[in-house]
Structure 1
Amino acid sequence: MENSVVCLTGPREVLLAPGESQRVDVGQIRVRTRYSGISAGTELTLYRGSNPRLTKVWDNEHRLFVDRSVGPAYPVSGFGYEEVGEVVEVAPDVVLRRPGDLVWGMWGHRTEAVLAADAVTPLPPGLNPLAGVFARPGAIALTAVLAGDLHVGEWVGVFGQGVIGLLATRLAALSGARVVAVDQQPHRLSFALRYGARLTVDGRTASAAEVLRGVTDGLGADVCLELSGAYPALHEAIRATAPAGRVVAAGFYQGDAVGLALGEEFHHNRVQVVPAQVSGPSPLPYSAGRWTAARLARTFMDLVAEQAVDPLPLVSHVVDAAAAGDALALLDRGDPDALQVVLRFDP
């Protein structure tokens, strides 16, 4: 495949465009992409046109979104943050990386990228390269688990069993929590049991709040992690949580909060709702800078290398990069069998 990049030219409009050719400068490397995973959360908001960054600009100094002075920010080129590739060229001054190294990082859905040498991380020896696409999703899941401040023996509800939710289920179980996994797809709930959930709840037919209060003698969950990004699920997570308990809102919520009634259990049970976001200067503010985004991703990949977490069963589709539009449409339709969809680039 020639140098190319996946672009969005408008809502649900995908184009594989020619990529810009760059030379390798001081401190840089060239990486040829092997695999690039598609995020079924953030990337679908770009694909659908609902992401706030399409109509607003993030003012980092004032920490505010402000309206754009012009229309939506299309085209969006080279989005994506789950990449694995091979180093094919290094600047003369670079000793940290060598041609032939397999690395993971974030450089978008493109055939190749020129990056700072320290912007990528070597894949652990012997690990299937596909595992590298889970570094960032794993970091997001770990952020939610750490924000929950889980303890051994606590009951924890994990709402949303997509890729990040399933990884959070596994990490919460490793932390010693007794996990109740909630979703509306039986296929995903079966994965949750494999990943250590004690119980599962099909949200179409049962109330997660009633189940969690039932297994805790009426108390409710100590902590709930909400990873679906759906306001009704956030409301149910609040309902499921014990008085003065904690709900970690880690989903990417879109639009107005339809289905979230803050005058009910949230108000009467004084439930604490905390955000979890892996981006920014301090993903976990209370950690005094110990848990950086880089450490979160590396820790997750260490767990994969140690075989404490096996994300590979979550890869449901591997498709050629030329079919990126079809891959995004598959996720957009909500195909129940689609979990981690991966774009494959020619070696």
Structure 2
Amino acid sequence: MQQVVEFTGPQQVRLVPQEAQPLTPGTVRVRTWYSGISAGTELTAYRGTNPYLTKTWDPERRLFTEGAPTFAYPVSGWGYEEVGEVVEVAADVTAYSVGQLVAGIWGHRSEAVIDASAPIHRLLPAGVDPRHGIFARPGAIALNAVLAADVRLGETVAVFGQGVIGLLATQLATLSGGTVLAVDAIESRLELAARLGAAGTVDARHPAGAGAEIRRITGGGTDSAIELSGSHRALHEAIRSVQVEGTVAAAGFYQGDGLGLRLGEEFHHNRVRLVASQISGTPVPLGRRWDQPRLVRAFLDQVASGRLAVAPLISHVVDVADVADAFTLLDRRPAEALQIVLRFPAAQGADR
């Protein structure tokens, strides 16, 4: 038997037993050490606002339509920030061996049988703390957004939202040569952004609006902006913050109607270029040179080299048995937490 995190309804989460999967050709079994909780996507499932829980996703037409929800409670095994140890390998697999550590996506479960050829899994680079491997997917999302914003040496970029992915984007944009203005409503996150390389910070609650304050600081607006908070109001301020014909990469997971987003104002009059950044695809102008495996590889290489700091983003490491308390904290007291990492029994003795 394995243990799996399951959402049984809005604001309801528990740890449940589940039958272990059999090993099949082309697969390996991994035993989970750590699994990070996404304070964006996973909270939409926890809160019941995720569109997959309220509408039908038509994969052929790529449309959400009214009808039976694509997913219904109980929902098991959500999560996309896992690190685990290979404990069993199918006879036809040569890419993995027992004892190796893998970063990948198999959800909050104590073990999983994964496809050895799937590009979403990667051996953890030597020297990387296993807990830091949980950032592989969030880091790829952040890097994808920085690429979508086309951040260049000598340019300014505003990064709206200094949660985990926003703080990673702030560092990656800085490494790309950009001068970053970090925006958030939580003072401790702005302080951390400054320590991690942001050239300046702006309180999202500024009376004139963060966009207007950024235009004042920069003398006319930034070259680009990245919006990662998932707030429609923040997306509106990101649009206000850029120069005429500037670029805004909308990378947040926006829920519900776009209250606070007024496209007839600065977006229209300043001819702002608004692009969507979502991890299922890389920016079109980059062509085939970039894909998801390259995003993960590039990000983890920065972590392994020490050029990118992820340790300051981990605010809590908790036993998986306390998963309900972890989600309550993220949902009700977000200012008190950044990255919460679930520790599974297999990680016993791994913490350093």
Residue 146 (structure 2) pairs with residue 145 (structure 1) = yes
1:286 is displaced (CA, Å) by 2.3
1:180 equivalent in structure 2: 181
Change (3 A) 1:205 1:288: closer
Secondary structure of 1:288's match?
helix
1:267 equivalent in structure 2: 268
Question: Given residue 298 of structure 2, which amino acid in structure 1 is its aligned partner?
Answer: T
Residue 31 (structure 2) pairs with residue 32 (structure 1) = yes
1:6 equivalent in structure 2: 5
Residue 152 (structure 2) pairs with residue 124 (structure 1) = no
2:350 equivalent in structure 1: none
1:171 equivalent in structure 2: 172
Hey, what's the Cα distance between the residues in 1 that align with 2:179 and 2:27? Answer: 45
Hey, what's the Cα distance between the residues in 2 that align with 1:146 and 1:71? Answer: 31
2:217 equivalent in structure 1: 215
1:209 is displaced (CA, Å) by 2.0
Moved more, 167-176 or 2-11: 2-11
Secondary structure of 1:244's match?
strand
CA-to-aligned-CA distance 1:74-122 (integer Å, 9 cap, x gap): 1111000000000000111211111100110000000000011233211
> Does the Cα contact within 8 Å between 2:313 and 2:338 map onto a contact in 1?
yes
Secondary structure of 2:334's match?
coil
TM, length-normalised to structure 2: 0.94
1:44 equivalent in structure 2: 43
1:240 equivalent in structure 2: 241
CA-to-aligned-CA distance 1:167-207 (integer Å, 9 cap, x gap): 00000111111110000011101111111111001122353
Secondary structure of 2:321's match?
helix
2:334 equivalent in structure 1: 335
Residue 156 (structure 2) pairs with residue 155 (structure 1) = yes
Aligned length in residues:
343
> Does the Cα contact within 8 Å between 2:5 and 2:108 map onto a contact in 1?
yes
Q: CA RMSD in A?
A: 1.4
Hey, what's the Cα distance between the residues in 1 that align with 2:147 and 2:192? Answer: 22
Secondary structure of 2:253's match?
coil
Question: Given residue 212 of structure 1, which amino acid in structure 2 is its aligned partner?
Answer: I
> Does the Cα contact within 8 Å between 1:187 and 1:337 map onto a contact in 2?
no
CA-to-aligned-CA distance 1:234-273 (integer Å, 9 cap, x gap): 1111111111111111000000001111111111111111
Change (3 A) 1:6 1:67: same
Question: Given residue 322 of structure 1, which amino acid in structure 2 is its aligned partner?
Answer: A
| Superposed counterparts of 1:292-311, under 5 Å | 292-311=291-310
Secondary structure of 1:81's match?
coil
1:21 is displaced (CA, Å) by 1.6
1:115 equivalent in structure 2: 114
> Does the Cα contact within 8 Å between 2:158 and 2:238 map onto a contact in 1?
yes
Moved more, 158-167 or 260-269: 260-269
> Does the Cα contact within 8 Å between 1:19 and 1:110 map onto a contact in 2?
no
Hey, what's the Cα distance between the residues in 1 that align with 2:283 and 2:211? Answer: 27
TM, length-normalised to structure 1: 0.96
Hey, what's the Cα distance between the residues in 2 that align with 1:33 and 1:53? Answer: 26
1:215 is displaced (CA, Å) by 2.9
Change (3 A) 1:312 1:3: same
Runs of 5+ unmatched residues, structure 2: 347-352
